[in-house]
Structure 1
């Protein structure tokens, strides 16, 4: 088994000294604080604290140095053998436009490659951002019928969004379903 990748640090530039690392349980309150304004404006889905704790191993966070306020967060949720979703990608208003979201996304993409995932899904209002990173808008189903039949059994709302199930449409109107092949 390959060793666990460590934090990724950037040098000089708009995000100089930025560290992207795996989230820890003591980051959950800060992650919720980062997500809260996006959830209130219905850009991101609101989640209970327990959901974040259950998924802490899926998250990466960005900070300038250990102990500094978090500048961003994002999660990689595996959905199937070759498919994962980029979830809860959020950047603090103070860090917008400084490359934090891009660095988080790159780290999550590296995690996906390490896991053997070949395709990444996202449901987003930030179409231009994800397009710059190679994602393309999808229509209809992006999986084979037998995989669809298995995925439809999932209780996970993200899977329902990926499958474009009618029951999630009132919660996701205006979002765009996008996919990237790694």
Structure 2
């Protein structure tokens, strides 16, 4: 095998690790907003100053936007879709990749004011993590342990949707 072919193959194999969906421990840590294993770190985002902005981008209104490390982060709504905002760019919820058994739910809108915003890191992978309990439905009854979440890979910009019973 030529050196250049070998280098390309190594780069391809390395990129697979970057493109892989988040592992289950990272998902659970995100949904709980606390680490469930020493390999995962969670950095909760204290959302204090929130604003709104009409016509934010591409026909979306930013209904919940805040600054984190100088960049826009938040939630936006369009006519037929919702999106996460990260570093000033929109990531449509309808384009999110479902991970694991989400009970047939592909993606879900959520109330950003009730959500837990954080960064989850496992090794070289870091994600913007948004965890929610379906607008308070999780506060009593059999649905109380079910949480949904979005994880946006900060390197690949792949957006993942998860739903799990966290009890």
More strand by share: 2
Larger radius of gyration: 2
Structure that is richer in helix per residue: 1
Q: TM-score, normalised by structure 2?
A: 0.31
TM-score, scaled relative to structure 1? 0.29
More RCO (CA 8 Å, sep 6+): 2
